[in-house]
Chains A and B, each alone.
Chain A
Amino acid sequence: EPEVTQTPSHQVTQMGQEVILRCVPISNHLYFYWYRQILGQKVEFLVSFYNNEISEKSEIFDDQFSVERPDGSNFTLKIRSTKLEDSAMYFCASSFLAATDTQYFGPGTRLTVL
């Protein structure tokens, strides 16, 4: 069964450093998403992406964040200058349709900012 994959599974970085989290969505999916979950809290939406454009972003997704689909298979989330409060589990998800369809989630990348 096709699945969303994410790398790395765990990333440790120093405050102020740039990080890139990588995702490979399910191959025929058209819509891509990033969510995050601070430890012990609920999952929060960050951004959605379709046709090489951001379709929606949350208040969390400020200028420090960016997304890119650099080729036909990868989808990346970049945090330009990490802060302590960026420590969280980051989930990538994908779906074939926008609304009335299952969003399939990857296993997550645990980001720790020291």
Chain B
Amino acid sequence: SQKIEQNSEALNIQEGKTATLTCNYTNYSPAYLQWYRQDPGRGPVFLLLIRENEKEKRKERLKVTFDTTLKQSLFHITASQPADSATYLCALDIASAGNMLTFGGGTRLMVKP
């Protein structure tokens, strides 16, 4: 089955720095990969989608890369702010019937002022 690994340890960074989160996967080649943000007590919120034939995607201060050879995606938040503190989830879609997403366990990001 698909295995998705995200660093379970919290990432602590200083405000203004760039946060980089990693998502590694095994076994399948997903059609595309998504990143979500989840705040405590809330449902995940969709941030970005990147397709298998795209190397990089940007949205405001967010940047996602997708390396299908390494089976890895990197999620960057530039000029990080305390408001960026949350858990970030990556999710893979293998384009199977039902368009189901498989989620990683998430990485908690703490941005300190």
A binds B: no
Query: Which residues on B are within 8 Å of A, measured CB to CB?
Result: none
